[in-house]
Amino acid sequence: RKEVEQDPGPFNVPEGATVAFNCTYSNSASQSFFWYRQDCRKEPKLLMSVYSSGNEDGRFTAQLNRASQYISLLIRDSKLSDSATYLCVVISGGSNYKLTFGKGTLLTVNP
Amino acid sequence: SQTIHQWPATLVQPVGSPLSLECTVEGTSNPNLYWYRQAAGRGLQLLFYSIGIGQISSEVPQNLSASRPQDRQFILSSKKLLLSDSGFYLCAWSLGGAGNSPLHFGNGTRLTVT
């Protein structure tokens, strides 16, 4: 089983739709989790951290399920500008300095 | 505030030529520094990371090397490039001493080996 796995998509949704991505991780000792956004041919940018109790930032909601070892990202009221690749990132307990990236989920929001 | 500078933005090099990519961070001390590579259509691969001056950890065997001559400077090098070295190279930093902090990336260098 890979350390971090994501559905590669692509997800094609209309403007205004709600879309959710999941990301599973294999190391139960994983400590920290993040979602990044990467636009085509650009560097990844931190979207949000994922906290144990779940957290929300505007239209974005991140959740952590430790029992099932996955994190999720929910985007409400999708905008055209949300089109990007979304990467989940896990910091495993073995090395606090090494972050493992998923391969990303491609989202396209259509007008 | 912290900033990260990475250059050049694009680079075209012939097979067998040397490589030197440089990255500097401003606005923080003793950051953790990273080099990642992203091949076309693929995920991010961690190449090297450093938690202090002169300390380098290598994640994958390859013909690349990294050095950290100063606290906030990280250099990626190769003596002889291979075609397979083509890709998008990303430098990143995170807070030193805070092992659970997120990464912040530079703008990247798009390397094409011909």
Cα atoms found within 13 Å of the Cα of residue A27, Cβ hemisphere only:
17
Structure tokens at A55: 């957290």
Outline where DSSP puts E strands in chain B: 3-7, 10-13, 19-26, 32-38, 44-52, 55-58, 64-70, 73-78, 87-94, 104-105, 109-113
φ, ψ of residue A94 to 5 degrees: the values are -65, -40
- The one-character DSSP state at A51 is -
Helix or strand or coil: residue A80? helix
Instruction: State the pLDDT at residue A69.
Output: 94
- The one-character DSSP state at B96 is T
B100 to A96: CB separation less than 8 angstroms, yes or no? yes
Instruction: State the pLDDT at residue B99.
Output: 65
Instruction: State the pLDDT at residue B39.
Output: 86
pLDDT in 10s for each residue of chain B, 114 residues: 899 999 999 999 999 999 999 999 999 999 999 999 998 777 899 999 999 998 998 887 678 999 999 999 999 999 999 999 999 999 999 988 766 789 999 999 999 999
Contact list, B44 vs chain A (CB under 8 Å): 44, 87, 101
Distance from CA of A39 to the nearest CA of B (A): 12
Tell which wins on pLDDT, A92 or A103.
A103
Residue range A22-58, pLDDT digits in tens: 999 998 888 889 999 999 999 999 999 998 888 999 9
B108 touches chain A (CB under 8 A): yes
- As a whole number of angstroms, the distance between CA B72 and CA A86 comes to 28
Distance from CA of B15 to the nearest CA of A (A): 23
Residue range A58-99, pLDDT digits in tens: 999 999 999 999 999 999 999 999 999 999 999 875 555 678
Structure tokens at B87: 């890709």
- As a whole number of angstroms, the distance between CA A104 and CA A84 comes to 10
Instruction: State the pLDDT at residue A93.
Output: 58
Q: Return residues 37-96 of B near A (CB < 8 Å).
A: 42-44, 46, 49, 51, 57, 59, 88, 90, 94
